[in-house]
Amino acid sequence: MTDATAATGAPAQARRPFASLLTLDEHTKRRNATEARFKAYGLAAVLAGLFFLVVLFVSIISNGIPAFTRMVVELDFTLTQAQFDEAESQLLKTGAYQGYFVEGFDKALEERGVEVEYDAAVLDRLIGKVGGIMREFYAANPDKIGEEVVFELPTSSRVDGYFNGRLKREDVSDSRFLEASDLDLADELYEAGIIKSDFNWTFITGADSGVDNPGGAGIGASVVGSFFMMIVVLALSLPIGVATSIYLEEFAPKNWFTDLIEVNISNLAAVPSIVFGILGLAVFIQFAGLPQSAPLVGGLVLTLMTLPTIIISTRASLKAVPPSIRDAALGVGASKMQSVFHHVLPLAMPGILTGTIIGLAQALGETAPLLLIGMVGFVARGYPDSFLTGFTEANSAMPAQIYTWAARADASFYEKAWGGIIVLLLFLMTMNIIAIILRRRFERRW
Amino acid sequence: MKTMLTEADNTVATVPAAGPRDTKIKARKVQVYYGDTHAIKDVDVDLEDKAVTAFIGPSGCGKSTFLRCLNRMNDTIDVARVEGEITIDDEDIYDKKVDPVQLRAKVGMVFQKPNPFPKSIYDNVAYGPRIHGLAKSKADLDVIVEKSLRRGAIWDEVKDRLTAPGTGLSGGQQQRLCIARAVATEPEVLLMDEPCSALDPIATAKVEELIDELRESYTIVIVTHSMQQAARVSQRTAMFHLGELVEFGDTKEIFTNPTEKRTQDYITGRFG
């Protein structure tokens, strides 16, 4: 352009040549193109992200939903007092109940007009030995003797898999667990409405059941384990974290020592979680002698992990409170402590709460350190006896339970693992929603 | 305690403004350092009781810094260091025995930018009296709040919405609320750091009127960039330049007949 003006012999203070505003010049065109490209990249990234999110959700839900349903054999059954007395007097009591069950089963088939040949061993393979279950029921509810009772008996995991499509008939190799011909009976029963689909409450309320019984496995006990851990994490990390941040941000002198502490806190946030696990094993279990696999220890380890997150976010939100508010408080004669607790802290509250809940959500999903301190899935065999023993009794936590299930050979545990992930995500979503609500509630308009 | 103060106010109001006034604040050889920067050099000044003293001077001349020395707000800045002697009622405020929190209850401050707490109008004013235990009961506190809001010349505008947030008021109203908040703790000295710089002319006029009324009860020190404002509201004026006190005297004197060339140049707009 300088050349051009020089060539036309323009005066030294070269004026820009006339340019119409109605046409875009080269420079503007290039700038606009760059901007459009940048927007396109952004949009593409968002769309790709959404796509993968949808894929993730679809696969989690489609894999996990079967864990929430199960196939049950529904049977109306009446046990007479005479039968009860007779069974209880025999040597093999559960065997007697099994006999009554087969009788009742035959009657039910007859009533619904199903004509099919089978032997008792097939029933064993389809629903296992139910005599024990029935005896337990009548021992607990003696008043039900003589009344009609509806039994819902879960089918074996293979039959379950056959009905929800996991197991194909042609893949069945005859074994003591299932023979391909058993499925004919299963199909007949399904059409007759004796086998039907039911919501799997055991999965919600149950405990881990052991390698050979996927049907009885539930996530309930490890949800309770996670709950007790979260109580420990919240009760320790929120007060310690907030107090630390207030001291460092508002009261501590700024010198090399506090700088060192600050750098170390930031670094701790990036330490791999398994390191905290082995630290917990060495310090809390081996040195301090706390019980192994206890939610208390898990909570302590996760507290160590959560503290840096809470401290960093709390300090950031304290810093974001405008200094004019501190000046105002000091100006009317408030002490440092009063200005912090009456004015600065309430204003920083939304940020602190958000940071805390993000920290808790992180802790809730942490697996590696729990495996090291013994909170593995198969430990979650039942509910604690009381609230206090909930902290010390061996238990697992949701992510560790999911990990254990995913590692098991039986394919129906795989489905439980996906189901467990759905439960875990529900908890995380709830926590995030609570965070948003609290944030809205505490936010003040300026 | 409160009734006594009210009586004192009345006494002041009835005494004619003329006559020799007492010195409230005395500063001798005050130096302020910000790290290596020598921000205030050798300032000697006597501030009169029940009068308005204006600090004028170009930006960065140290007038705000000096103002913040009077209630030890500079203590909150890590690198700031104050030397020399500042006394209020002949008591050294930098004495080791002085608690700056107690001092600030006696020396109130109004800031450049209106900074009400994000709380209700009532709570804004009631906060000071509450933390200093000035009110025995809720009724007492109500009286103090109303009196302070009246002193801040904002009562009529907010009396129907005391529970509304203070941050919802207009800029001028916010600044008067801050003044009401400052007087609610019954200070003896009121420091104002460019209180009108964020306000429009109408709000400024209201605040200036208010300052003139408050003069009867308080020692007021005001930092301002507006020559007209200094001339309108103050009785005494101190001119600062590059951290030094250039000239200090009666406002009329300073504006009509300055002894220093720099003062003359500044107020006639030749520099600054």
Helix, strand, coil: what percent of chain B each, to 5? 40, 25, 30
Q: Please indicate, yes or no, whether residues A84 and A149 belong to a single structural domain of this protein.
A: yes
Instruction: Give the domain-ending residue among A166, A199, A232.
Output: A199
Q: Which of B46, B56, B42 is nearest to B251 (CA)?
A: B56
How many domains does chain A divide into? 2
Residues A178 and A227 occupy one common structural domain: no
Residue B53 DSSP SS3 = strand
- Do residues A194 and A234 both lie within one domain? no
Q: What's the gap between Cα B157 and its chain centre?
A: 23
The ipTM (two decimal places) reads: 0.82
Residue A188 lies in a domain: yes
pLDDT along chain B (272 residues), means of 10: 44 43 86 89 89 90 90 85 90 89 90 91 93 89 92 88 90 90 91 87 87 89 90 92 90 88 85 62
Asked if residue A240 lies in contact with residue A307, where contact means CB atoms within 8 angstroms, the answer is yes
- Are A295 and A229 contained in the same domain? yes
Distance in Å, alpha carbon of A393 to nearest chain B alpha carbon:
47
End-to-end, the C-alpha distance of chain B in Å comes to 46
Assess contact for B110 and B223: CB atoms under 8 A.
Answer: no
- Residue A266 in any domain: the answer is yes
Q: Across chain B, which distance is largest between two alpha carbons, in Å?
A: 57
Q: Are residues A320 and A401 in the same domain?
A: yes
Q: What is the pLDDT of residue B6?
A: 45
pLDDT at position A5 is 44
**What residues of A are in contact with residue B102 (Cβ under 8 Å)?**
333
A326 contacts in chain B (CB < 8 Å): 76
A328:B111 CB<8 A: yes
User: In this structure, are residues A296 and A232 in contact, taking their beta carbons and an 8 Å threshold?
Assistant: yes
Mutation target vs B (from A256, A332, A442; most B CBs, 10 A cutoff): A332
**Residue A378 domain flag:** yes
Structural domain contains residue A121: yes
For A114-143, the pLDDT digits (tens) are 777 777 778 888 887 788 888 888 888 888
Do A356 and A310 contact (CB within 8 A), yes or no?
yes
CB-based contact B104 A330, cutoff 8 Å: yes
Q: Are residues A313 and A399 in the same domain?
A: yes
pLDDT along chain A (446 residues), means of 10: 47 72 87 96 98 95 87 83 84 82 83 77 80 83 83 82 80 77 82 83 85 82 93 95 94 90 92 93 93 93 94 94 91 91 92 90 92 88 86 91 89 88 92 87 67
In a domain, A32, yes or no: no
* Same domain as A307, residue A409: yes
- Say which of B101, B111, B128 has its CB closest to residue A324: B111
Please name every residue paired with A290 in a beta bridge, in sequence order, or none if there are none: none
**B108 Cβ under 8 Å from any chain A Cβ:** yes
- Residue A277: domain span: 220-442
Could you tell me if residue A264 is inside a domain?
yes
Q: What is the pLDDT of residue A12?
A: 57
Task: Quickly count: other Cβ atoms within 10 Å of residue A343's Cβ.
Answer: 21
Q: What pLDDT is recorded for position B8?
A: 43
Q: Establish if B128 touches chain A: CB-CB under 8 angstroms.
A: yes
Residue of A nearest to B126 (CA): A332
